[in-house]
A = this chain, B = another copy of it.
Amino acid sequence: MKHVTIKDVAKRLNVSVSSVSRAFNDKYDIKKETKELILRTAKEMGYHPNPIARKLMQQKSYNIGVVVPEFINEFFSETIIGIQDVLISKGYQVLIMQSNEHYENELMNVKTLSDNMVDGLIVSLSRETHNTEFYLKLLAEGYPIIFFNRINDSLPASKVIFNDFKWSFFATEHLIKQGFKKIYHLSGQNHLSLAKNRMKGFQKAIEKYDMSPEENRVIETGLLMDEGDKITQELIDNQDLPEAFSCVNDPVALGAMRALKRNKIKIPEEVGVVGFTETRLADLVDPSLTSVKQPTYEIGKTTAELLLKQINNGFKTPETVSLDGQLNIRASSVRKTIA
**Partner-B contacts on A (CB < 8 A):** 1, 3, 48, 50-53, 55-56, 61, 63, 71-72, 74, 77-78, 80-81, 84, 88, 93-98, 112, 115-117, 141-143, 254, 261, 281, 284-286
Per a CB cutoff under 8 Å, which of B1, B53, B63, B261 touches A142? B1
Kindly report which residue of chain B lies nearest to residue A138, judged by CB atoms: B1
CB A72 to nearest CB in B, in angstroms, measures 5
Q: How far is the CA of A95 from the CA of B65 in the complex (A)?
A: 11
Give which listed residue, B56, B61, B71, B88, contacts A71 with CB less than 8 A.
B71
Inter-subunit contact A117/B254 (CB<8 Å): no
> CB distance B143 to A1 under 8 Å?
yes
Looking at A81, A93, A98, A254, the one whose CB has the most chain B CB atoms below 10 A away is A93
Residue contact A284 to B281, C-beta cutoff 8 Å: yes
Kindly list chain B residues whose C-beta atoms are within 8 Å of the C-beta of A95.
Answer: 93-95
Q: Tell me the minimal C-beta distance from A301 to chain B in angstroms.
A: 16
Contact of A51 among B53, B80, B117, B143 (CB under 8 A): B117
Give the shortest distance, in Å, between A110 (CB) and chain B (any CB).
14
A264 to chain B, nearest CB (A): 13
For this chain, the copies found in one complex come to 2
> Across the interface, do B286 and A117 meet the contact criterion of CB distance under 8 Å?
no
Which of A72, A81, A88, A254: most chain B CB closer than 10 A?
A72
A52–B63 Cα gap in the complex (Å)? 11
A-B contact pairs, 27 of them (CB 8 A): A1-B141, A1-B142, A3-B117, A48-B115, A50-B56, A51-B116, A51-B117, A52-B52, A52-B55, A52-B61, A52-B117, A53-B56, A56-B56, A63-B93, A71-B77, A72-B77, A72-B81, A81-B98, A84-B97, A93-B95, A93-B116, A94-B95, A96-B96, A261-B286, A281-B284, A284-B284, A284-B285
Q: Which residue of chain B lies nearest to A116 when distances are taken between CB atoms in the complex? A: B51
Q: Which residue of chain B is the closest to A144 with respect to CB atoms?
A: B1
- Partner of A77 from the list B52, B77, B141 (CB cut-off 8 Å) is B77
- Chain B nearest CB: distance from A22 CB in Å? 20
Report the bound CA distance from A164 to B262 in whole Å: 35
Contact A52 B48 (CB under 8 A): no
Task: Tell me if A284 and B254 are in contact (CB < 8 A).
Answer: yes
Q: A49's closest neighbor in chain B, by CB?
A: B115
Does the CB pair B115–A51 fall under 8 Å?
yes
Find out whether the CB atom of A50 lies under 8 angstroms from the CB atom of B117: yes
A141 → chain B closest CB, angstroms: 5
Bound complex: CA of A4 vs CA of B72, how far in Å? 38
- A50 to chain B: closest CB distance in Å? 7
CA distance A80 to B80 in the complex (A): 14
Contact A72 B72 (CB under 8 A): no
Q: Which residues of B contact A63 (CB under 8 A)?
A: 93
